[in-house]
Amino acid sequence: MIDIMHSLEKPMNQLENNLDPQLWHACAGGMAQIPPLNSNVYYFPQGHVEHAAKNVDFRGFPRISSLVPCRVASIRYLADAGTDEVYAKIGLVPLRGGECEVDDGVELLGFDRNGEDKEKPNSFAKTLTQSDANNGGGFSVPRYCAETIFPRLDYTAEPPVQTILAKDVHGAVWKFRHIYRGTPRRHLLTTGWSNFVNQKKLLAGDSIVFLRSENGELCVGIRRAKLGIGGGPEVSSGWNVGAASGGRSGLYGFSSDVKEKCNVKAEFVIEAVSLAAGGRPFEVVYYPRASTPEFVVKASVVRAAMRVQWCPGIRFKMAFETEDSSRISWFMGTISSVQVDDPIHWPNSPWRILQVAWDEPDLLQNVKRVNPWLVELGARHAQFVLSSSDLHLNKLQLGLRPFDFKPLDYGSDLPKFITGDPLENPNSNASPHCPKTESSVQHLKKPNEGKNGVNTPTFVLFGQPILTEQQISQSCSVNVMPEGTASPRLRDESKEAYDSNGCEQRQ
Amino acid sequence: MIDIMHSLEKPMNQLENNLDPQLWHACAGGMAQIPPLNSNVYYFPQGHVEHAAKNVDFRGFPRISSLVPCRVASIRYLADAGTDEVYAKIGLVPLRGGECEVDDGVELLGFDRNGEDKEKPNSFAKTLTQSDANNGGGFSVPRYCAETIFPRLDYTAEPPVQTILAKDVHGAVWKFRHIYRGTPRRHLLTTGWSNFVNQKKLLAGDSIVFLRSENGELCVGIRRAKLGIGGGPEVSSGWNVGAASGGRSGLYGFSSDVKEKCNVKAEFVIEAVSLAAGGRPFEVVYYPRASTPEFVVKASVVRAAMRVQWCPGIRFKMAFETEDSSRISWFMGTISSVQVDDPIHWPNSPWRILQVAWDEPDLLQNVKRVNPWLVELGARHAQFVLSSSDLHLNKLQLGLRPFDFKPLDYGSDLPKFITGDPLENPNSNASPHCPKTESSVQHLKKPNEGKNGVNTPTFVLFGQPILTEQQISQSCSVNVMPEGTASPRLRDESKEAYDSNGCEQRQ
DNA sequence: ATGTTGGCCCGATGCCGACAA
DNA sequence: TTGTCGGCATCGGGCCAACAT
């Protein structure tokens, strides 16, 4: 009923165009987690206030619990008309006391139906180099992107060249000349690229996302670089830079038309909180690339974290997006104390209840308090399987945590891929910059044409997962293998591709 | 007391930069009339509603009189950050019953102190030609502008060149190369001009204003062309184009960053009206170049108009800005009926109470109803004096009505200047396009260096004034001469220049 | 495999006097 | 006096392979 209200009424009077959720997620980056439709979540007013651009006035602020159990009634994937920045409007319906404790059976179902874990369209993200962003220059297309995302090029021509059309988040079509030339040969975008860079005001460090949507159309999205922590060389906290927010306008000499990263207004927060306090449906706006923690979190995840006995001294690790937003890095730390962040306004709130000390304090100076459901408690070596979906997005989804990796080197005898930083032993003399390690790929099946013309390779990776075996097995996209197991279990949809095509064994 | 509140509090929390009132008026154009500080005015909520960009919802609209007597408590001259469009914020304090009928003695005083009638800085406006606005072209500087507004050029150099710096309404400095070359010689802006045109998105038909402010700085302002009445060849109604508002975005293929001409939001109108209804101080935003009549009008002007017995059949004339906004044209018409415009919402309102029939209906199709205080009732020949201030602005101020004219031809034996259209005898076979006539200049004193380096010539013009003698004599800038009088009376400040320099008699 | 550099071509920008209104 | 035009020089955008990493 409420669902119908949202899906019918909202599009009528609001002329906002939803965009492809796949493209939205590609632009949002690896840290963004939108809970599935109809799943149970907790809404944190405190986090919502923090998400707002300007300070919220607490005079006359409604009385409300620090966390409100809700059901996700609607999700609208949107993009800012001026900057292409993606954001979402999430409709939430507060749950009554009885409902909130029942773990929702639709959760996994919704996850599946959401298409988040289905046959994903190919996408590829690249951070712009200085040469890419230079005026007058072209764009160096990584071979993997050109071969798997772009339309097939006729290599018999000399030189091989084609025109590429790509839709942006607003549906506007951009034209590029795609050519394969030079010695050694490489893929380039030339004509049209410079115009795109200028129109979108792209700078070196911004990322561009190419995505082949389900209907075969090529899409292009933008992930603007976050404002780095003042001088932090490697890592921009993908989670919270504290007071160092406010867009990059000052730094890069942008004119005033560049908006703040987060446009959530204080009055809308108060409106949402008032409705939530009254148990009435409400809607929140969420900017996935704003550097504040998500304030709508899957209920099961929060509850799992709340069951842990958090104590000073506990060691943990936590994910952050790297500065170029191409990968996710894991940082280790120790809980220094467990205490309520803002006892005056939010007594008993779990929000940012953990005060932490980082092993590398320099890079995370502004991250002093974190949410318990965002930290992980241990690590062990294991073996797991990448589904074809993971591969298409170059992203391994381990429960909560996405895990980026680079494309495989098909030509080498022992293909490797670069993963995010594994959990280092705190006793070891780990480099302060968290050097990447390589995980070996054991089973490799080269990309093949699937039923929809989508490549569906399957891999078995011996690597270093960062979740418990139980957590991993709960995840839809990964199956844990006992160490040394040769033939992995596969999910149904992956199995189909696997069975029909066999598994090419290498080495 | 209230005045102090406005002048102290407002600048504290609002970071809006006031700009030079002279520059503001130069950009606002000849039709804009801001009542003097501390003068008594009538505020018309009905006109305010009309001024708002979007339709105002009348449900829940406060009950309020159709005209509210107020005192002008503050005036802030501002400019839009994106378009340079000027607007004003006028603080108004509603007056009690007793106060409103007392004619304010400060009116003339305020007018004087305002500086509106003092030694005005030189300014010059030019409508951009196609060549001026063409990409890659330069700007043809009218000789008068170059010689009286620009810094003095060293003509001994070959060619004479200098760099000109001009501040825009935001205080940003623009650099231009000013050169005097070609055969025949002419003044041009070359390097820097094209950039200015592009940055400001100027088009042929827009006007540019150069002004030498009191401290000697050169300023540059913009007057965007109004959207012409569909196809009307000569005149764009400077007063009301009815439904044909809404900026030129659609017509000229502008991108969405060009804003509407008038940004007044409906909610701010309602807020102002609510405060006004409660007798509390309020503030209105006024866009002088929006095509709606002013809704804050000098009380004396309104009262004078209300004393007239308006009847169908009365002939009148009314001022409009010409399409290129360089001059003011007068159009004649006949009152067809006198009836309240909107009896449901505004019974007994004088707003737009006159229904009119124009002698040239084609050009003013959308102007069906006018305010009585904007029309004039007669004309007679007379002789009057232009003060130096009038000359500097190329504008003759006759009471309510500004009167543009072209610079004098110093070289000819009988210098003339082109004035706005005089009142034609309706019985005569007047051309449908209101051809200009020339008024002869009898007394002429060439421009000389005044005490501040400002030229202060004085003229006596035999022309066709459009006000009664009494109205003219009330004006600060004009003195009426009995016909045939040789030596004009002069105001104090003009007298000084006149006496000390004598009056060069020509012919 | 791909980032960066410098060469070079070509079209656009922009300065100029001629000419005319 | 000044609007418009065509000529022409110059500049910079943009395409390219070479070379480096």
pLDDT tens digits, chain A, 507 residues: what are they?
333 333 333 333 344 668 888 899 888 887 888 999 999 999 999 999 888 867 777 777 778 888 999 999 999 999 998 889 999 999 999 998 655 555 544 443 333 333 344 444 588 888 888 889 887 789 989 888 898 899 999 888 888 999 999 999 998 999 999 999 988 889 999 999 998 998 898 888 888 999 998 888 999 999 888 654 333 323 333 343 222 233 332 222 222 233 344 566 777 888 899 999 999 999 999 999 887 899 999 998 888 888 878 888 888 888 888 766 667 778 888 899 999 988 888 888 999 999 999 888 887 888 899 999 998 875 332 233 444 444 555 554 443 444 454 444 333 333 333 333 333 333 333 222 222 233 333 223 333 333 333 332 333 333 333 333 444 344 323 333 333 322 222 222 222 222 222 222 222
Q: Which residue is nearest to nucleotide C19 (CA to C1')?
A: B183
pLDDT band (50, 70, 90) for residue B98: low
Q: How far apart are CA B437 and CA A163, in angstroms?
A: 62
Q: What HEC string does A275-326 produce?
A: HHHCCCCEEEEECCCCCCCCCEEEHHHHHHHHCCCCCCCCEEEEEEEECCCC
DSSP state of B419: B
Query: What's the whole-number mean pLDDT along residues B57-81?
Result: 88
Token pair belonging to A483: 């160490």
Q: Which residues pair with B15 in a beta bridge?
A: none
Residue A411's Cβ-count burial label (10 Å; 0-12, 13-18, 19+) is: exposed
Query: What's the whole-number mean pLDDT along residues B31-45?
Result: 93
Structure-model confidence comparison of residues A382 and B74, the more confident one: B74
Query: Residue B10 is which amino acid?
Result: K
Q: Say whether residue B257 is in contact with chain A using an 8 A CB cutoff.
A: yes
Q: What HEC string does B140-192 produce?
A: EECHHHHHHCCCCCCCCCCCCEEEEEEECCCCCEEEEEEEEECCCCEEEECCC
Q: What is residue B134's predicted lDDT score, i.e. its pLDDT?
A: 85
CB contacts, 8 Å: B201 with chain A:
none
Q: What is residue A355's predicted lDDT score, i.e. its pLDDT?
A: 94
B138 touches strand C (CB under 7 A): yes
Whole-number distance in Å between A402 CA and D14 C1': 39
Structure-model confidence comparison of residues B471 and A321, the more confident one: A321
Q: What is residue A264's predicted lDDT score, i.e. its pLDDT?
A: 66
B257 to A257: CB separation less than 8 angstroms, yes or no: yes
What is the value of ipTM here, to two decimals? 0.54
CB pairs under 8 A between A and B: 5
Q: What is residue B408's predicted lDDT score, i.e. its pLDDT?
A: 42
pLDDT exceeds cutoff 90 at B326: no
DSSP state of B448: -
Whole-number distance in Å between B140 CA and C7 C1': 39
Q: What is residue A137's predicted lDDT score, i.e. its pLDDT?
A: 82
- Percentage of residues in chain B with pLDDT exceeding 70? 57
Could you report the per-residue pLDDT of B249-302, keeping only the tens digit for each? 222 222 233 334 456 677 888 889 999 999 999 999 999 988 889 999 999 899
Q: What is residue A360's predicted lDDT score, i.e. its pLDDT?
A: 84
Contacts of B342 (CB under 8 A, 6+ apart): B46, B349
Q: What is residue A32's predicted lDDT score, i.e. its pLDDT?
A: 87
User: Would you say A314 and A347 are in contact if contact means Cβ atoms under 8 Å apart?
Assistant: no
| B138, closest nucleotide (Cα–C1') | C14
- Percentage of residues in chain B with pLDDT exceeding 90? 32
What is the pTM assigned to this prediction? 0.58
The pLDDT mean for chain B works out to 67
pLDDT band (50, 70, 90) for residue B164: very high
Token pair belonging to B231: 């196809």
- In the stretch 53-82 of chain B, residues with CB closer than 8 A to chain A read 81-82
CB contacts, 8 Å: A256 with chain B:
81-82
A216 touches strand C (CB under 7 A): no
Could you report the per-residue pLDDT of B337-368, keeping only the tens digit for each? 999 998 888 888 999 999 999 988 887 888 99
- Whole-angstrom CA distances from A204 to A86, A94, A128, A256 are 20, 43, 5, 20
pLDDT band (50, 70, 90) for residue B330: confident
Q: Say whether residue B172 is in contact with chain A using an 8 A CB cutoff.
A: no
Q: Which of A7-21, A76-90, B128-142, B315-329 has the lowest mean pLDDT?
A: A7-21
First to last CA, chain A: 57
pLDDT band (50, 70, 90) for residue B480: very low
Token pair belonging to B282: 């309020």
Q: How far apart are CA B143 and CA A272, in angstroms?
A: 62
Q: What is residue B228's predicted lDDT score, i.e. its pLDDT?
A: 44
Query: What's the whole-number mean pLDDT along residues B483-502?
Result: 27
pLDDT band (50, 70, 90) for residue B449: very low
Q: Say whether residue A215 is in contact with chain B using an 8 A CB cutoff.
A: no
Q: What is residue A98's predicted lDDT score, i.e. its pLDDT?
A: 57
Provide DSSP, A68-93.
EEEEEEEEEEEE-TTT--EEEEEEEE
